[in-house]
Structure 1
């Protein structure tokens, strides 16, 4: 039997078929979990007792590779939240304390770059051409990890200090010095571990306030407040100076002392990079800091030329102007962030070559800018943004000679609009780019800014501030000024006001706009 259909009935059949197909498609496509929809800013299934990190990656290659990359980025986002939280707390506390405490605690706010966080779990989701990862870590477990690390470090400090004291009492000077020098990196490790545990505990206490925990009745396991340990550290400095009995009159003498102390710790330093020394509690350097970094690099290469290790190490130095003396301190870290050695020395200011400026010309203004950024740091704004350059990244203490070029690069963990603000050495704040978009195809990839910059007077500390927004950035108050024939978009607001505006952003509908911020300091000096 042959069934004939009218055109009207046939049209109804076609419509019904399409409707069923669409219905099946919509029904079959699963709705993404809430943490994907809001890029990890809301995780109701986990509660508030977890530290969260978010990552995503386009499926433009092997799925396994994309998944691994998304998990790596999520872990990095989680770690960065911890870093910013600790750095903000420590920086604020260092700024309030006396000089001796300040120099001891200073490195904590700058060296927390590679956290060893164990027990991180993941949630995974995917769709069409994108894969997502949510990293989460139980806050209490993280606190317990760092309390245990601090306990182990403190025990090593006690053991080595007792050994050094025994050698000193028996007149074994060289052995005593070697043991005392081994304490330098351990003190810094302990301050760092203690500060992380205290900050992660979620209490209102400061980084170096009393840290209480269950000791199981064994008082020997109690943690010592770092403020108390600083007294011992200062005493160790005096003992090393007394036992060494080698006068330090010049910068060359001071560098020799640093190298000899590193050699005493029997570490393998072959493939080593010495960064420019940082000025006090800052992230920037100077003519002196650059010169010392380069000079120490040459001395370390010479002293450790027979080292058989191929592992890369990074040496970061700091210096403090104490009036009549300059205190210099270095730490040697592996690429993974493990501190393996340290050294300290004090140099009479008369031993500093006259041609070297100890401080950048605008150091006071630069310190205030960094303080404003640190106090207003966005711990968890929902976006992880990184700024780097072809001369180094955050932590490299970049120094450029007058006329030297630099290129900037960015990386974000989700689609973002970037606003670029540059603070010149004279304090002027210039908007370089109002809304530079990075789409899903470039998420978690290093993106080059399409302009090259050149160091030029006025010289001093300059800073690039990159703010990432999940939507078009809000309107910024600017004033157009013509300088040397070129029009600049100058921001009249203070840095603290800019940061405050960013932290308080909301978009229509009472839905929080996701934001992130990173900055990079550059010190420009004369050739």
Structure 2
């Protein structure tokens, strides 16, 4: 009897030990033989229990991080794919990435599943988000089909109402198409990210786009026909966008952050961006009776949802992009709810190029060609997110950043584990300054907002600039610099520097590294 009891106890012991054993995706920080990269999209998150965070909260934050990590992987894939090959083959495809890569916080990927694990010894929660590429492709093909059907139904209903003289109802139906187009763009972008093989994937997307029964130009023409407001200035354009959003959303009151529109999918602003932001704020207040606010994010208790920073100043964000086309300049605006990051409205317009030439403000930053070259270099061999989470933002947020001469920029960072950080600032004149090097963030600062000690004042040279941040669980190797006017300037060219950062031999098998960038544009007075 005692022998049987000992056997039972041993079996229970080994069963418990097997049950408590770490899964391979925990040991390998999101990598698992059960979810190979060719067949699955995955995201990994981890969060430690600390004094102010209990186990349940830690687990929730780990799962949020895993979802965000997976979505960030999709963004990196999209940004890489929508580079030179897309631009050369089909400019229309490039615009399809605007919503997916610009308003990334609105991106939600359906069909995600989760696995979790809690390590009692480490007091650490782990989460793995995963989805089969085949399953995701099936979901989004179905969504794509439903969105096309909805667009067609709204267009047909609008035509019927217009023929019957019901102009207000017709306008509502036409305007309802714009958010559907943004969702369609995002669905097709996700399909592109899911497919393997860039050239084949782009060819498939071109085939999908050929199936579109309704062109956006038909919607734009119908809306302009009903609004009957000529656009002969930037002020008229701002009025038109504000009016379309007001009619579409029917919001009685709203506190609204208007951000500078950026050029194409580059996230770069311009002198025109700053000017148009001011004009659009004025028209939003006049036409929609919404209250524009200015946002200065200096709180140490900020919460980031996707790329949207929750802040008490604004309930909504109005942002957009503009694209040079043969028939004029196309403006795409999106209206985003801050509380959950969802895109709830959109409007667009095409204005003759000669009208904006009257301003006369450049649509691109002064150093556009050089900055675009750098941006393409950044996208080459960019590492996908690992278990180390790195968030960086400024006192103006993370996107659509335009700083005027004399304005100050403060950067903040947050990580999910002790690590070293390195900040490189790529200036408009081509110099690359080492701002922070091997600064250690210890356990007491993990998952907390940490302000970078120095503030920076906007001054010449003006143009598109990049704040590049690296985090690593081991110290960084030294880089060759030379002191110029109080700054340590890198002596390597960008290609060699990136290769040394991304291709460095790991000191230990479990060394983790993360990278992120902010694009900002500096302009004169």
What is the TM-score with the length of structure 1 in the denominator? 0.81
8 Å contact 1:270–1:301 — kept in the other structure?
Answer: no
Please name the residue that 2:144 is paired with. Answer: 150
Counterpart in the other structure of 1:199: 193
**1:42 corresponding residue in structure 2:** 31
State the TM-score, normalizing by the size of structure 2: 0.81
Output the CA distance in 1 between the equivalents of 2:288 and 2:496: 49
Kindly provide the CA deviation profile for residues 207-232 of structure 1, in whole angstroms up to 9, marking residues without a partner as x: 55427xxxxxxxxxxx9712553971
Structure 1 segments unaligned to the other structure (5+ residues): 1-26, 212-222
Counterpart residue number, 2:307: none
- The alignment status of 1:185 with 2:189, answered yes or no, reads no
Distance 2:136 2:96 in 1: 24
- Decide which structure has the larger Cα Rg and report it: 1
Counting only pairs closer than 5 Å after superposition, residues 88-487 of structure 1 correspond to structure 2 as: 88-92=80-84, 94-117=86-109, 118-128=111-121, 130-139=123-132, 140-169=134-163, 174-202=168-196, 204=198, 208-210=202-204, 225-229=208-212, 232-242=215-225, 244-268=227-251, 270-305=254-289, 312-322=315-325, 325-335=328-338, 336-352=340-356, 354=359, 356-393=361-398, 395=399, 397-476=400-479, 478-483=480-485, 486-487=486-487
Answer with 464-473 or 144-153: which moved more: 144-153
Q: Distance in 1 between matches of 2:98 and 2:71?
A: 20
CA gap of 1:445–1:142, structure 2 versus 1, over 3 A, is farther
CA 1:194/1:247 → structure 2, altered by over 3 Å: closer, same or farther? same
Q: Where do 4+ consecutive residues of structure 1 move more than 6 Å?
A: none
Aligned residue pairs total: 480
Q: Is the 8 Å Cα contact of residues 434 and 487 (structure 2) preserved in structure 1?
A: no
Q: How many angstroms does 1:42 deviate by?
A: 3.0
CA drift of 1:508 comes to 5.3
Q: Tell me if the contact between 1:505 and 1:512 (Cα under 8 Å) persists in the aligned partners.
A: no
Alpha-carbon offset, residue 381 of structure 1: 4.5
Structure 1 position 498 matched with structure 2 position 497? yes
Report if aligned partners of 2:99, 2:185 keep a CA contact under 8 Å in 1.
no
> Counterpart in 1 of 2:489?
489
How far apart, in 1, do the equivalents of 2:370 and 2:250 lie? 39
Checking the alignment, whether the CA contact within 8 Å between 1:331 and 1:342 is kept in structure 2 is: yes
The alpha carbon displacement at 1:159 in A equals 0.9
Q: CA deviation at 1:460?
A: 1.4
**Cα gap change, 1:365 to 1:144, in 2 (>3 Å):** same
Tell me how large the CA RMSD over aligned residues is: 3.2
Q: Is the 8 A contact 2:97 2:265 kept in 1?
A: no
Kept in 1, the 8 Å contact 2:45–2:64? The answer is: no
**Structure 1 residues 441 and 42: CA distance shift in structure 2, 3 A:** farther
Q: What is the Cα deviation at residue 278 of structure 1?
A: 0.5
Tell me, in whole angstroms, the C-alpha distance in 2 between the residues paired with 1:230 and 1:429: 48
Helix, strand or coil for the counterpart of 1:435?
A: strand
Partner of 2:309: none
**Worse-superposed segment, 444-453 or 132-141:** 132-141
